[in-house]
Each structure stands twice: as structure tokens, then as C-alpha cells.
Structure 1
Amino acid sequence: MSEPNTPLPTRVDRAARVEGVVQVVIMLAIGAAAAAASFTHVHDVAEAHGQPGWLAWADAVVLELMSVAGGLELRRRKRLGAHLWFPAVVLVVAVVLSLGAQVVEAEPSVIGWLAAALPAVGFLAMVKIALGRAGHGPAVTVPASAAVPDGPGRPQPPPTVADDGPPPATVDDEIRDLLPVARKAADDLAREGRPLSREALADVLRRQGHAMSNARASALVKLIRDQPARPEASTGDGDAPPTTGKADLPTAAVTGSPS
């Protein structure tokens, strides 16, 4: 008896979740081992150079927490599209000090220096991987019925489903302020033949100087799709006059004169 076929998207999502869990466990293990090794080296060096007792422990704790806090703040700012220079400087200084404490106690040989530097290098590698995970979130799944056709000749939605009112009250004020700019960016993407997605919209708005997180870009994409702009009423020559709600009757019918 054959097993029921599992849809491909479900299998891919399950594999991605398992892979993500395994990667997080590996990152935590490497980070914990690197922190323990660095903590021990910093404590021993501080104690051997005039920082006895609790002072050596304080030096080790402060340096390790600086590394962790700098890495977390760097990841948070990258996710929000903010400036990264200050947490990056804090992280580099903490790692350099930790690396110096590890190397100074190593055997004076190339192998000894490499072995002593391995925990700090491993910690930097984990920070780099974590930053990559922050910059590339999961892709937004777009139903086929909601996909935006390429090219300038895409069909406009019927006016009856358009909503000229403001976004719902639950929408963040910053997202509401960015909505007109996001609509223009979506039109630019359509003219370039690029599909509307979270990554594409965030890239355009960031290039224009707007701070844009993945969550904010997703909310803007949803608003653009759920509340399409009403097509402007044409006012040029030759257009049909607006209707008044009454049927246009022949003159004869109105005056009672025979046709």
C-alpha cells in the first residue's frame, strides 16, 4: 500500500524547519564553547596581571557580555535597516580583546596561536551566520490569484472593490505614512517588469532612504494588495459625461411630442 503523496510545499517547509532548528542548535553549541574558552582565558590573564579575586571574574563577565550584546544589537539593527557602525565597533573591540587574552597564554608557535584563536574565530563566524539569517527572512507566499502580472498593461481592479478611505486603525502610523511611497515603488516595479514582493519593495524603499524592516515591508505589500488605489477618473475631451443616476430618456418621451 503506497503512502499518500505529501504536497511538495509541505515537504519543503518541513525540511526548512528541521534545517533551521539544527543550525540554531549548532550555533548555540559553538557560541557556548567559544564563550567558555574565552571566559577562562580572560579570567586567567586578568588574575595574572594584577586583577585578583572578583576583579578577574568581573573582567571576564564584562568582556563576554559585551560580545553577546554587540552581536544581538547588530542583528536587531540589520533587521530594522538601521545604522550598524556602533554595535559593530563594540563587537570588534570585544572580540579583539578576547582574542588577545587567548593568544597571550598560548604556546609560542603557529599551531599554538591558531588553537588559541579558534574560539574567537568561531564566535565571529556564528555572528556572521546570524546576521545572514536576519537579512534574509522567509519568502512571502503569494497565491496565484493575487499575483501581479508583469508589464504596464496589467488589468485594473474594478472600482467597486477599491477603498479610498484610510488604512485600518490597527495599522502602525509609520506604515500608514509610508503607504503612498510604497504604492509608487510598486508601480515602478511593475513598469520594470519585476513582481511585487517583500524583498523587492524593501530594497527600493531602503535605496530611497527609508528605514525598512522585513515585517514592515510585508505589511506594506499586504496593504497594497488588499487596498488597491482607485483609478483616477478621466477628465479629458471625448470622455463620456458622468451619470446622474437617472436613465437618459428620448426628448419625445419627456415632452410627450410624437417622434
Structure 2
Amino acid sequence: MPRSIRPDAVLVQAVIAGALSFAHLHDLAEAAGQTGWKAWAYPVSVDLLLVAAWRRLRTARRDRSAWTWFVIALAASLGANVATAGLLDLDHVPAWLRILVAGWPALAFLGGTLLVHSPTTLVEPARPVNDEPAAPEVETHRADTTSEPDPAPTVPELDPAPAPTPSQSAPAAPPVPAALLDHARKIAYAHQASTGTPMPANALSARLGLPAPMADAIAAQLQLT
């Protein structure tokens, strides 16, 4: 589907302003002695230098060189517009203006070359500041392979509990699974190895989280008080 062409007021204004500035630069160059195709080349040179400097400023805002050439090209364009507004007699152009017009090609060539071949300085994004303190470095020492390893700590062995004698008056204790009994025995051994005292029955019951009858049966088999 073809797109409809709509007039843009900003684009029309830009075309009119560019055409007027182009004509003023041509008239000034022609009045300064640059006739023929040379008078038409001057406005092209000024506008190209202005565009090149602006494109450089879009990527490097703090580039002083780009700002310098942008101001020079803008001053040349504005100067031509003001000079051709009746403030300057184009039939008798002063010598200094002829010198400026004649030296403009070399100046524009230098500016365009510097804008194209100068490296662009990119600003690195700021790194986030880590407020957390750095972890202290821990020095690691290489173990001596010739030295013998430290002997493992010995865990005191508990006497095996004697077989309980059933009593006719006392209720029968609930059976204790072998895996649960081994787990409780390991907990009791670890407690006795770290504290040097046997583990109380109530502490073992709270550690295992078992009902009272089951905990009492385990404590009885491990001879805990």
C-alpha cells in the first residue's frame, strides 16, 4: 500500500532556510572574486563542514575539536547571511574579506580531515559501587606431605545395654527400629564426645522429636538418665 506524502512544516522551513543560506554564500563568494563553479562550491563546503561537525558532536559531546569546527562553519554561514543583507557593498569587497574567502578551502579541508580521522573518545559507564566490605583474604598453607596426619579423635564406647527383663506389672515398651536406635546412639556419642558427660534422656527426646514412650524406650536401651 503506497504511503501518503504529507507536507512537514519543519522540513519545508529547513529547505527554505538552507536555500537562502546557500544563495548568500554563493553571492558573497562571487563578490569576492570566485566566479563560475567555484562560487557554487563555497556554500557546499561550508554546509558539509557544519554537518560533519554536528555528526561528530552527536557521538562525542565533549570533543573540543568538533565544537571548534562547528562554530567556525556556523560563523561562516551567518557571516555570509549578514554581509549580503545590505551591510556590505558587494561591488567593493574589502581586501580582508577576499583573503578569508580565498583561504576558506584550505581551512575547510583541514577541519574535515581532523573531524574524520580524530579518534572518538567514548565515555565508560560508571561502575556500581559495592557497599559491602571486601572479604578478608585467608592465607592457605600447603600441607606438608611428609608429616603424619593427626590421629582421629577417639569416641568413648558405651557399654552395650543388657537385655531388658520384662516385668509383669510394667507395660511393654514399644519396639524401637534398629535404624532409629543407631541414629540415637550416634547423637548420644557425639554429645558425650563434645561435652564429656552422657546425654540426658530428656535432651535426646527433644532432639529426636519422638513421643514420650518411644523416647523412653530408646533412652532405656542406651542407659541414659
Give the TM interval when normalised to the shorter protein: 0.3 to 0.5
Q: Give the structure-1-normalised TM-score.
A: 0.33
Larger radius of gyration: 2
Q: Give the structure-2-normalised TM-score.
A: 0.38
